[in-house]
Amino acid sequence: MHKIIFLDRDGTINKDDGYTNKVGDYKLLPNTIKGLKKLQSQKFKLIIVTNQSGIGRGYYTEDQMHEFNNHLLNKLKQENIDIKEVLFCPHTPEDNCNCRKPKTKLIESYFTPDFDKNNSYVIGDRASDIELANNAGIKSVLVTTGSSENDPESNSNPTFIAEDLLDAANKIQNA
């Protein structure tokens, strides 16, 4: 059985300055490396799931997003952290697509018979991340490193609330 952590990117792994897309804007949040290593040591597959409406809004291109993601993945790889895949939605909320969180289309390909639904999580800083977990029938951790305090819909009832990814990893380990 595969246990998976579906990770939001901006505000969860890296600092979210709004439509983060330039390699020069790259800045990991505190305890990100320690948290990801701890999750990996618990035998979780790590997958990033991110809404990137800046593409649909014309603020940056898909190529710029891939350049940022590749930089992020390379920095994490230098720390022996293996992100299996980056899944993204390029659409705006007004597009009403099926791949934008909190809808589950981006992660449905992982819902295979060997997916350990009872021991998998979504970790993110917004209500849409927690609602993705709820819609998928898996557990969730709301980290307070990003937009959660400013999120008007932040009453989505996460399984846990954590200060950062290390705190999230500790809560998951002790669950």
Which are the catalytic amino acids?
Answer: 8, 10
- Cα 27 to chain center, whole Å? 15
Dist. CA 33–CA 25, nearest whole Å: 18
Structure-token pair, residue 56: 């649909």
